[in-house]
A and B are shown apart, each in its own frame.
Chain A
Amino acid sequence: MPAPIRLRELIRTIRTARTQAEEREMIQKECAAIRSSFREEDNTYRCRNVAKLLYMHMLGYPAHFGQLECLKLIASQKFTDKRIGYLGAMLLLDERQDVHLLMTNCIKNDLNHSTQYVQGLALCTLGCMGSSEMCRDLAGEVEKLLKTSNSYLRKKAALCAVHVIRKVPELMEMFLPATKNLLNEKNHGVLHTSVVLLTEMCERSPDMLAHFRKVSLVPQLVRILKNLIMSGYSPEHDVSGISDPFLQVRILRLLRILGRNDDDSSEAMNDILAQVATNTETSKNVGNAILYETVLTIMDIKSESGLRVLAINILGRFLLNNDKNIRYVALTSLLKTVQTDHNAVQRHRSTIVDCLKDLDVSIKRRAMELSFALVNGNNVRGMMKELLYFLDSCEPEFKADCASGIFLAAEKYAPSKRWHIDTIMRVLTTAGSYVRDDAVPNLIQLITNSVEMHAYTVQRLYKAILGDYSQQPLVQVASWCIGEYGDLLVSGQCEEEEPIQVTEDEVLDILESVLISNMSASVTRGYALTAIMKLSTRFTCTVNRIKKVVSIYGSSIDVELQQRAVEYNALFKKYDHMRPALLERMPVMEKVTTNGPSEIVQTNGETEPAVLETKPPPSGLQPASQANDLLDLLGGSDITPVIPTAPTTKPASAGGELLDLLGDLNLTGSPVSAPAPQIAQPPFLLDGLSSQPLFNDIAAGIPSITAYNKNGLKIDFTFERSNTNPSVTVITIQASNSTELDMTDFVFQAAVPKTFQLQLLSPSSSVIPAFNSGTITQVIKVLNPQKQQLRMRIKLTYNHKGSAMQDLAEVNNFPPQSWQ
């Protein structure tokens, strides 16, 4: 059999292939030749064959039949064989194959070989694909090599140790003594790998981290870094004028880990960080890479404020650089720091906004996120203009995020209602089809809340869909508004703008075309039909037309439309007397204050997320002693979680007199030293309650009242006022049952007039035992900033004697001391 071809020739042959099929054919032919050669147990050419096999494996062809051959090569005495054998082992073998364990003995012998290159090979392979068993067996050898004086071996042993630690974390302590002298080396290779080893140890184990902080690792690192910066030109380590930037970056990263959350370490490194930040040359990418790492480190440790300002200024300089990479990196870091150093980042706002116009997609996305983070009450008008312009011109993948961001920002910082509505209109018309589905109900709620703008809003919406009714969210909002405020539209009452002359027929025309159009989604059609129906009470001359339209859709294929049409038809025919009442104007929906997104506050590297979550209502009973715990609820660090009584978090539906119960507060009981994590809303209720007991005047003598007494159910209110926050009244209700049977599934709900805010905490249980043998206790907190007379409407639901009972009552007999 002729000698197998060399790897080089194989590569040349494969490259001449012009199609994928030709290449595959060549490779299969060669694989067959290699396989028969392996079968012949040919020692001389095994190395060549495995090399070719590895190349073909890299191109993506299966090469598993070469695994055993690799093992044979490793066992051979020739260095060239060993070299290819180990390479093959690294590429083809891993712990998934059982064959790999056979290597352990070979590696062990080679680790003790006389030639350092063979030892190096063995270390490399172990560090690349060693399984946990192999690592356990050979860790001792690696540790021995870590202490040797040969720097070539030391650096390889350090990297191998990193892999061993990753696979078998328990062996970390074994390498600890060897690390003492690692940083005393002059050889940069050893230094670099030692820093990697130390970084890995610190990241994996907090004990190690504490140990290294104590052993004053930081001064050692600072010294090394200083030498690197201060030393002159060293040809071995120079990259574009900077000495060993890779080592510098590694050291900075290790310093970051050591300095995080630790004052002493952070202080020790303040100087060197300032030095690196000011002395590094920024004309080339190398310098900027080091500066970037420095900035990340400064931001993450407990640095002094001067240093932080320096870091943000560096980032600002990056933003003005022409190089895209640097701008991208700067935007990413600014995004991370905008929460903590908001003011400093604001200074660079105009540059960031300019980046919105960049061509690069990654930069645009970063700039957009950062812009949203920077919007505040002062700059909202300007920023919105830029963001709306961006929305116009950006790629479709951004539009959804941008639209949601604009809505959120507008909601938080709108300077006036009209501006808010204008902005929303603009978003709907430019990116209408990309707006998220949940935006529509939010917008509708917003529109109902701005009572004086109804006429203006409906007019603008009407004009918007007159031209184009393909954007579904826009059409939905517009149809809803026209349905509600059609009478304002027709009467031409608009104050803000020139009123347009619209007849009832024209309005119905547009709504009908929405209904008919192919572009309208089923949901949109539903909106339009309901809107037409509502107009039957608002319009006077076109009622017959409306009746006709509604009856046509009574036989629509779409089940939803059909159902609506049939019900509306019934309204016309049988229940005409109820029609005006049913279709009258929607009341203003109360804004649910807990629906906003949470705020994650990041302070100097610590994060305390304050998330408002909804939890399902508790099904079991709560111990009665929790009633007393509730009283101590906010008085210190033993905070018990609060669970809402009813899971209502959607905005109240039509006619909702009962406010949504603000039960969604999750005060985490974790041992956080700050008494209450910063919660976005409602802050005023917790303001005075942070670290002292609330109830200072329990015996201040506010008389309790009987709020309700009917059918054997009696509810008493007892009051407490806070010294620190006089607008808060805490009412404890006690419900007792004087009948012979228990009342089960008792739910107490309360509503207060608009100027008050109400918070209902969880009840002690949901069963009131009979014969007054026990009570249910529940705490209500009422915020009364305007000191108005307290009134409350309560709703009680419970099961008694097998039937469900429900009652509404008004409580007017609050003692004056409870609200004055």
Chain B
Amino acid sequence: MIKFFLMVNKQGQTRLSRYYEHIEINKRTMLEAEVIKNCLSRSKDQCSFIEYKDLKLVYRQYAALFVVVGINETENEMAVYELIHNFVEVLDKYFSRVVSEILNL
């Protein structure tokens, strides 16, 4: 099950967040900060799946933007990885100018 879907930039500013489970609003900001910290500390040749508390984070980096999805153990990590790319492609198709603007930010 997907627990949350985040788009965060390198400075830690949230560009998009969607939570599928209720989390307190102040905990959300903390969660986002920790998640981006985990993702930023990874190098290019490390795998895209991080274990974080009792969840797995699947992240993908597009220029300065990280798309991070939090899943639990019933999900197929690689399918979610593919889903992220699908999502970005959809955005690109419908909002092409805007998306390239986001990705360069």
Q: Which residues of A contact B (CB under 8 A)?
A: 57-60, 62, 94, 96, 239, 245-246, 249, 253, 285-286, 288-289, 292-293, 296, 324-329, 359-363
Max chain A Cβ within 10 angstroms of own Cβ: one of B16, B26, B47, B48: B47
* Inter-chain contacts of A362 with B (CB < 8 A): 46-47, 49-51
| Nearest chain A residue, comparing its CB with the CB of B77 | A329
* Inter-chain contacts of A57 with B (CB < 8 A): 25
| Nearest chain A residue, comparing its CB with the CB of B19 | A91
* Inter-chain contacts of A361 with B (CB < 8 A): 46
Query: Which of A60, A289, A363 is close to B14, meaning CB atoms less than 8 Å apart?
Result: A60
In chain B between 58 and 87, which residues have their CB closer than 8 angstroms to a CB of chain A?
76-79, 81-83, 86
Q: Is B29 an interface residue (CB 8 A)?
A: yes
Is the CB–CB distance between B47 and A328 below 8 Å? yes
The smallest C-beta distance from A54 to any residue of chain B, in angstroms, reads 11
Can you give 8 A-B contacts (C-beta < 8 A)?
A60-B29, A239-B82, A245-B82, A288-B78, A289-B78, A296-B76, A325-B47, A327-B47
The smallest C-beta distance from A126 to any residue of chain B, in angstroms, reads 15
* Inter-chain contacts of A96 with B (CB < 8 A): 22
The smallest C-beta distance from A201 to any residue of chain B, in angstroms, reads 15
Is the CB–CB distance between A293 and B47 below 8 Å? no
* Inter-chain contacts of A285 with B (CB < 8 A): 78, 81-82
The smallest C-beta distance from B51 to any residue of chain A, in angstroms, reads 6
User: Would A324 and B45 be within 8 Å (CB), given that A96-B22, A362-B51 are in contact?
Assistant: yes
Is the CB–CB distance between B46 and A324 below 8 Å? yes
| Nearest chain B residue, comparing its CB with the CB of A242 | B82
* Inter-chain contacts of B26 with A (CB < 8 A): 60
The smallest C-beta distance from A14 to any residue of chain B, in angstroms, reads 9
Is the CB–CB distance between A249 and B46 below 8 Å? no
- A689, B96: Cα distance in complex, Å: 73
Max chain A Cβ within 10 angstroms of own Cβ: one of B17, B50, B76: B76
Q: Is B37 an interface residue (CB 8 A)?
A: no
Is the CB–CB distance between A60 and B25 below 8 Å? yes
Is the CB–CB distance between A289 and B51 below 8 Å? no
* Inter-chain contacts of B45 with A (CB < 8 A): 324, 359-360
The smallest C-beta distance from B61 to any residue of chain A, in angstroms, reads 13
Q: Mark B11-49, 1 if CB is under 8 A from A, else 0.
A: 000101100001001101100100000000001011111
New A-B pairs, 6, CB < 8 Å, besides A60-B29, A249-B76, A325-B77 = A59-B14, A60-B25, A289-B81, A292-B76, A292-B78, A296-B76
* Inter-chain contacts of A62 with B (CB < 8 A): 25
* Inter-chain contacts of B43 with A (CB < 8 A): 359
| Nearest chain B residue, comparing its CB with the CB of A284 | B82
| Nearest chain B residue, comparing its CB with the CB of A128 | B20
- A496, B65: Cα distance in complex, Å: 63
The smallest C-beta distance from B59 to any residue of chain A, in angstroms, reads 11
Is the CB–CB distance between B79 and A289 below 8 Å? yes
Query: Which of A59, A286, A289, A325 is close to B49, meaning CB atoms less than 8 Å apart?
Result: A325
Which 10 A-B pairs have CB atoms at the shortest separation, nearest pair first? Answer: A324-B47, A289-B78, A60-B29, A360-B46, A328-B47, A289-B79, A249-B79, A325-B47, A293-B76, A58-B17
Is the CB–CB distance between B78 and A329 below 8 Å? yes
* Inter-chain contacts of B17 with A (CB < 8 A): 58
| Nearest chain B residue, comparing its CB with the CB of A289 | B78
| Nearest chain A residue, comparing its CB with the CB of B49 | A328
User: Would A286 and B82 be within 8 Å (CB), given that A60-B28, A96-B22, A292-B76 are in contact?
Assistant: yes
* Inter-chain contacts of B22 with A (CB < 8 A): 94, 96
Is the CB–CB distance between A363 and B47 below 8 Å? yes
| Nearest chain A residue, comparing its CB with the CB of B26 | A60
Is the CB–CB distance between A239 and B81 below 8 Å? no
- A768, B84: Cα distance in complex, Å: 74
- A706, B59: Cα distance in complex, Å: 75
Is the CB–CB distance between B50 and A325 below 8 Å? no
The smallest C-beta distance from A60 to any residue of chain B, in angstroms, reads 4
* Inter-chain contacts of B29 with A (CB < 8 A): 60
Is the CB–CB distance between B86 and A239 below 8 Å? yes
User: Would A325 and B78 be within 8 Å (CB), given that A62-B25, A362-B51 are in contact?
Assistant: yes
| Nearest chain B residue, comparing its CB with the CB of A23 | B13
- A550, B28: Cα distance in complex, Å: 60
- A363, B45: Cα distance in complex, Å: 12
User: Would A246 and B25 be within 8 Å (CB), given that A58-B16, A325-B47 are in contact?
Assistant: no
